[in-house]
Amino acid sequence: MYKRVLLKLSGEVLSGEGEKGFNIDKIIYLIDELKSVLEYGTNIGIVIGAGNLFRGREMKELSPTIADQIGMLGTVINALYLKDLFEKHGLRTVVVSQVTSLPSIRPIHYDDINLYFDAGYLVIFAGGTSNPFFTTDTAAALRAVEMKADILIKGTKVSGIFDKDPKKYEDAIKFDKLTFDEAIEKELKIMDTEAFSICRRYNMKILVMDFFKKGNLLRAIREENVGTLVVPK
Ligand SMILES: Nc1ncnc2c1ncn2[C@@H]1O[C@H](COP(=O)(O)OP(=O)(O)OP(=O)(O)O)[C@@H](O)[C@H]1O
Ligand SMILES: O=c1ccn([C@@H]2O[C@H](COP(=O)(O)O)[C@@H](O)[C@H]2O)c(=O)[nH]1
């Protein structure tokens, strides 16, 4: 069973696939999934995307750097929204970020992150990498390495990594396991090359799995066969 996990969630986990904003039923579902693993004492850090609010690349009327900054702020909005609801449902949560200074957000300090985990807090890393031209997949890779996670779990709307986008091609074939070299060489668009490359350099395993299937998070953390695993060799 994994003891320390970085969970990367697509913003659409908060809204529902193809939807915008927040859907409270989806967030209650997320809370239930998290509770089922927290009771085993697993430390969980979360990197949240912002596809439910803003994606830089979709705001074509704006300059890319401004659009990306708005996207990063979207991840901060999601983090604060989650923190409040998590706490109302009994999950102690801290939001850390370098991109904004707000009273309910703390700066990222490695020593403090260990203290938060030791005290049983969920840690939400908001604000992406703090730089434009990246996505929260790259932020998840960085934070997974920084927090010395056992694995980066990407919870998304597809059941794993396929040879092509399964949302576009019905005949896409799923991989059970891949190496980082294969994922990068095949240019599989499930995650950015930057994210794969950071994980390859630091031997950070990645599991991609369907977050909308009930019980999948616990199965993943118990190291059961779910989704697609990306490993060094
Ligand atoms: N080879 C592939 N295997 C699996 N999925 C793929 C592949 N290529 C592209 N995809 C697509 O990648 C998407 C992954 O989306 P992800 O969870 O990163 O959401 P996102 O849109 O980046 O996040 P957000 O909603 O926060 O912006 C899937 O929905 C899937 O359609
Ligand atoms: O490091 C980062 C992370 C994100 N952004 C911007 O935020 C949005 C939302 O992130 P998703 O990963 O797409 O959910 C992204 O589209 C970028 O515009 C960023 O600039 N830098």
Positive or negative: CA dihedral 22, 25, 31, 34: negative
**Ligand 1 pocket mutation, candidates 158, 187, 194, criterion most atoms within 8 A of CB:** 158
**Whether the predicted pLDDT of 210 surpasses 90:** yes
User: What is d(CA 126, CA 118) in angstroms, rounded to the nearest whole number?
Assistant: 20
Query: pTM score, two decimals?
Result: 0.97
Give the pairing of strands 43-48 and 206-210.
unpaired
H/E element, 152: strand 151-156
Tell me, in angstroms, the distance from the centre of ligand 1 to residue 92's CA: 29
Q: Mind listing the pLDDT tens digit for each residue in 67-76?
A: 999 999 999 9
Give ipTM to 2 decimals. Answer: 0.96
Give the position, in ligand 1's atom list, of the atom nearest the Cα of 49: 26
Tell me, in angstroms, the distance from the centre of ligand 1 to residue 104's CA: 30
DSSP state of 174: B
Domains of the chain are: 8-164+176-231 (3.40.1160.10)
**Whether the predicted pLDDT of 233 surpasses 90:** no
- On average, the pLDDT of the chain sits at 96
Smallest CA-to-CA distance from 148 within 205, 224, 218 is with: 205
In the block, residue with structure tokens 């980082």: 180
Break the chain down into helix, strand, coil percent, rounded to 5.
35, 20, 45
Cβ atoms of residues 152 and 204 within 8 Å: yes
Cβ of 68 below 6 Å from ligand 2: yes
